[in-house]
Amino acid sequence: MSASPSVSAVARIAYLASDDLLNSLSPHAPSPFQAYLNKLSGSSGDRAAVTHLPFGADAGSTLLRHRSARLLSYTALAHPQHLNQLLLHLPELSSTSTVFHVAVTSDLSDALVLQSSLPFVLYSRTAQQAHDHALLASRLAFTESTAVLHIFHVGDESESVEEADGDRIAPFLYAERQSPRGSEQKSTLDPSALLKVYQSAALATVALVRRPLRPLTQHGASEPHTVLFTLGRAALSYNIEGVSFVDVALLKPLPSSAILGAVSPSVTRVIVLEQIHHWSIKWTPLYLEVVSAIQQAELSPSPVVQSGLLGEASTITESDVTTLIEKAAAEAPSARLALGPAPAAQTAASAPHVPKHEAAYTKILANLFAGRLEILNSPDLVSQQGEVATTPEFALGRARGELEEREELVNAVHELLRDPDVTIEVHSLLSRWLAAKDDGVKSKQLGDELAAALEGEKLTSSAAQKILILRRLLPARSRWIIGSDAWAYDLGASGLHHAIASQLNVNVLILDTTPYTTRNSADPHRRKQDVGLYAMNHGDVFVASTAVYSSYAQVLQAIMEADRYDGPSVVLAYLPYNTEQTPALEILKETKLAVDSGYWPLYRWNPAKERAGKEPFSLDSDFVKNELQQFLDRQNHLSQLSRSRPELAAELVGSLGENLKQARKQRAQQSYNDLLTAIDAPPLTVLYASDGGRAEKVAKRLATRGKLRGLSTTVATLDSISVEDLAKEEMVVFVTSVAGQGEFPQNGRTFVKALSALAGRGEKPLTSVRYSVFGLGDSHYWPRPEDAHYYNKAGKDLDARLAQLGAERFASLGLGDDQDADGPETGYKAWEPLVWKALGVDAVAVTEQEPEPITNEHIKVASQYLRGTIAEGLADASTGALAPSDTQLTKFHGIYQQDDRDIRDERQAQGVEPAYSFMIRVRMPGGVCSPEQWLLLDQIADEHGNGSLKITTRQTFQYHGVIKRHLKTAIQDINRALLDTLAACGDVNRNVIVSTIPSLSKLHSQAYDFARRVSEHLLPRTSAYHEIWLDKKLVAGDAIKDIEPLYGEFYLPRKFKVAVAIPPNNDVDVFANDLGFIAIVENGELAGFNVSIGGGMGVTHGNKKTYPRAGSIIGFCTVAQGVDVAEKVMLVQRDNGNRADRKNARLKYTIDRMGLDAFTAEVERRLGYALAPARAYTFDRNVDDFGWVTGEDGRHHFTCFIENGRIQDEPGRDFKTGLREIAKVHRGTFRLTANQHLIITDVATEDLSTIKRLLAEYKLDTLSYSGLRLSSSACVAFPTCGLAMAESERYLPILIDKVEKICEENGLRNDSIVMRMTGCPNGCARPYLAEVAFVGKAPGTYLMLLGGGYYGQRLNKIYRETVTEPEILAILRPMIKRYALERQPGERFGDFVIRAGYIAPTTEGKAWYDRMGGEGEHREIAVAA
């Protein structure tokens, strides 16, 4: 239910006026208050603290805990369960400053149960009245320290509200009181005195809103014979002779004088109409007030007073009122009248709303127990059984009834077995069914056969008839009750206790939706009880804690174990979301935070194992140790184990000592730093915040230069120092770069948050500190005028914040701009002398040479052929990371160190190191994998990684989430699969990729053989890989005899990539590679290759010295010459590449610096012969051909669509399991494609049906995707890639959902448009050759590129430098529509946007920036000249 104008108005007033605001959530549909209050809470300003109470929670006790608030507000949609619970607390709450805002849809019955216990009750029938009464109620409660009930109608969207200015509400509340205060005085006030208090508050409210507020409003005849008092939504504004209408707005206090004032002497009949349809006593509240007033007045003659029900307002007409008055005259005074029909909602119960996110679990249940799943409290039952059908009590009753009936069925089977007249066939079926009665599959099959046999035999015994009557229970059912975490607030009242104690074979799935990041916003006194602990204490209950967005496999295992367990089972399921609009990506991040921190551990507790003498507890989450002390303090299951089994507790908390070691190291380092500062020289502290390392280099260089000038200098990250320690420093220099949209880098955010908190409190703790700030940024990174303030925002904000905290600036803010002639050095050179001058060392002559900075080249040459200290780092259990220098070397071994960036900030706040893990990339030339290898690789993913396999754009597998202690065993297992990871990364030749055209089986075989020979020939020869990972011994008495005949001890300047393309499909994007071989086929045979050199994708944002480049064809070579050509091209790059600047070290820059002809001449000189002229070829696409195809050898091949290459099991898409099952029976091979998809190849005709059946079973044969989706590709990006600036793999499918709708609207669903996305500009998904591409710049912000060639022959160009999703859709919508209408036959999207004048073509890499930003009317205004 969305917030109507009246709900929004009341919620706003309550939020602005209160100190604390409590909102009770609705039972099924979303609360009308919730979303609006969340929106208000997200806005700036110091307003009410909002707490949402789950449905069923006792709001009264929570309100009492907040009774000290100056004003306390409570909001709820009327429901008997939470309003009736309030009754017990109202005597205490009545003397507190509390406003109860209760919204009603039609019937006032539920809300009016509160009126007898509260001194003031206001009623609003319109949205405007609800707004004004909310102000009046707040004023009354605040000034009189009394509780006020405000009942108002939800209303509809057609109403309008004129709202009071928010800035005037506080002065309105605090204005001088017009009435006495104090509970002692109020307790003696009679209704007339209370009315004066109301009138005083009403006058103040009228002064604010400039609208009248009256307790009763009378209209109609001036001398009436009949008066109608109305309490309800209907506004009876009719001119009926002799009839007057009184609309009641103040229900309590309602003095007799006010009522009698509306009853003139001419009145003979009074009718009281109330919109109350479920009142438990005979007479309604307003009727009693009116009758009492008239009787006490002893009017003569006394009018007849009659009661009536007020129905739906929309259908009441003037004639209905006339008919009512006529009927009243004819009826007895005690008869209950009615005006208008009763609310339609009373006639039928509607099924409750089930949030869509719950499908993540319900689909798993449906898939696992297809045909035998029974949701005992299914919402579908509501239409027949009413709302009670969704309660656990009802569900438990159903379960008990069915289980008792099944027991009767079993007894009947036993009885029939003893019947001598039963045939042998039936007897056998009865026996077999009894043996398999608990087996979900067999019991159904045998049950059907048994029922059919009994019907055929026409047995008349009572046992046989009983079996047929109960035949529906022959199949074993999996019975589940599904509930929410609201059950955890009161286990007894929720019925959950009865399920746990029932000993019935029933399963309970409890969904907990509280997001980790908002876990502390709930009332701390109302903590949910730990259902898991509660159930485990019972001793005979299976308990599991699961999270589908953390471990899908663990959810499956837990649910299957729960189903097998003979007794009650409780499965706790984590599903954190605020609204149904919460994207799955946010749920994933919240889940990871919760599981990693120990807030939501994953475990299983199986009493059946304990009875068998086994360990009943299984811990399934790796990161439960991170916050274990707090986790144990929560008294969950682990705290119980730690008391009963101390050895387990000791094992679990053992790693906490590592944090202590780290703290001691830092303390020792600090002591050493303190010693340095005692030296008689001006001290200087240099603090930096850096993500990419550039600011760190600047800071360390400055510190080094300070030491050369005789200063005692220390250098550290911002987060390594507290504000208290900073206050002790004298001279401090800050160096910071910028992350995202003006944000601070990760290692400075905690420090900056601390500064902001102090500034918010107005403190000035840094008055003794003198400082200067140097910021690094790119003025062109945010080219639009409205985004210009993001330039160097971190440095500017830090400079201003330090001054705000009392620090004194000794040198003005320095700003380094990437766009300056010398980059940031231009600004740095002007700023650094100011620092030395302020420190008084500007005249010091520096004679000692400044140390050369450590670079990758130093690390490589000192590594002893890629050994470094990797082995020692692997043995260091004090950290999950390796040394920084070793992380550069492990890349050569196919390993990248990463950490989970989704939880990086949270772990930093906890004071623990990042959640380090490693990515392992397999070397698999040509992407060919046998079924035996597949099964081993699949097993490695489960045992050592995060359970998934990632197909990369270089035709190989990546494992993510491998922790350090698993690295070695993982690589040894990969080696057992006859594969390795050597040279999968690093400054060497990477995995050689090959076009996959299964129909050309012979040609592919030849190309694959060539690629494998190139890969083996260019492989590094160091024995370090086998020594470190495979425990091979050093040669010749431990003396290192390694030599690198091709690479030398420096290896290459940068990575080197080789691709082999087989026309007409350029699926490998051959022109994106340093070296490309384009197969030339003559007379059906592979004659040789055209040679392409100088392709490359990597770019640095804002650095125009970097650019992508498409390869250049330099000639033709034979197959026999190919390996030699590859070697010589690589060697020329080895000897001529730029080793001083890694950003300009790729082959593409070497070629552009030397010139293509000069580079080619050097290659030919080393070859000893000239390459032949290039030969003709044709490319027509670079996307995969999906579906079945038969090769020239008669064998069959199927290309599966694997979105962005991620092979994992998900609800409804168990791809990983499916491919494992295929690998068990497949007798051919698997081929990975460079577009991140998979081909099941070489399927024999006799195996075709088996493979097709498995593909269909696991939905791997689904190809009904749009052409756009089939042509898309994305890199990994968040959460593991350390270079990612924005989402990619997790976001591109979401974006495609929206773009493909545009395509479908324009008839382009099946048209291929190549769209690619990367999280950073390094280009892993080859975005710069796509027709449409998005390159991450900051979270949610991308560079947009257009105009790439459909078959990878042309680079695209920057169209917009900064776009977000709404801008992307706004740009593409008219562009795609125009493409659909105006394209020429066969014209591709990338070609069209050039012809239509959207973007200029890119003719070469060096011209990539020329004419960027669009053409003509499509040009981005903010693009710099």
Q: How many CA atoms lie within 13 A of 223 on its CB side?
A: 1
Handedness of CA 962, 963, 967, 973 (dihedral sign): negative
How far apart, in whole angstroms, are the C-alpha atoms of residue 836 and residue 145? 64
Residue 1081 burial (C-beta neighbours within 10 Å; 0-12, 13-18, 19+): middle
Structure tokens at 588: 């994933």
How far apart, in whole angstroms, are the C-alpha atoms of residue 1120 and residue 1118? 5
Structure tokens at 1127: 């070697």
Q: In what order do the strands lie in the sheet with 49-53?
A: 49-53, 20-24, 72-77, 98-104, 148-153, 120-124, 250-252
Handedness of CA 1055, 1060, 1063, 1066 (dihedral sign): negative
How far apart, in whole angstroms, are the C-alpha atoms of residue 275 and residue 295? 24
CA 473-474-479 angle, 5° bins: 50
Instruction: Enumerate residues 6+ apart whose C-beta is below 8 A from 760.
Output: none
How far apart, in whole angstroms, are the C-alpha atoms of residue 1166 and residue 1129? 9
How far apart, in whole angstroms, are the C-alpha atoms of residue 1082 and residue 969? 47
Neighbours of 280 (CB within 10 A): 6
Structure tokens at 808: 């004194």
Classified as helix, coil or strand, 365 is helix
Q: What are phi and psi of 1333, to 5 degrees?
A: -145, 155
Contact status, residue 1303 vs residue 1336, Cβ threshold 8 Å = no
Contact status, residue 78 vs residue 103, Cβ threshold 8 Å = yes
Q: Are strands 957-962 and 949-951 parallel, antiparallel or unpaired?
A: antiparallel
Pick from 1098, 1101, 1115: which is nearest to 1149 by CA?
1098
How far apart, in whole angstroms, are the C-alpha atoms of residue 1280 and residue 970? 18
Helices 462-469 and 392-417 sit at what angle, rounded to 10 degrees? 150
Q: 1201-1210: string of b/e by CB count within 10 Å (b at 16+)?
A: bbbbbbbbbe
Q: How many CA atoms lie within 13 A of 902 on its CB side?
A: 23
Give residue 70's region: left, alpha or beta (phi > 0; psi -120 to 50).
alpha
Q: Which residues are catalytic?
A: 921, 990, 1055, 1057, 1275, 1281, 1320, 1324
Pick from 599, 582, 481, 469: which is nearest to 545 by CA?
599
How many residues in total does the chain contain?
A: 1425
CA 590-596-602 angle, 5° bins: 95
Q: How many helices (H) and strands (E) does the chain have?
A: 50, 48
Neighbours of 355 (CB within 10 A): 17
Torsion, CA 701, CA 704, CA 706, CA 708, rounded to 10: -130
Classified as helix, coil or strand, 1327 is helix
Contact status, residue 1035 vs residue 865, Cβ threshold 8 Å = no
Measured CA distances, 487 to 89, 505, 1002, 1362 (Å): 21, 20, 64, 47
Q: What are phi and psi of 602, to 5 degrees?
A: -100, 125
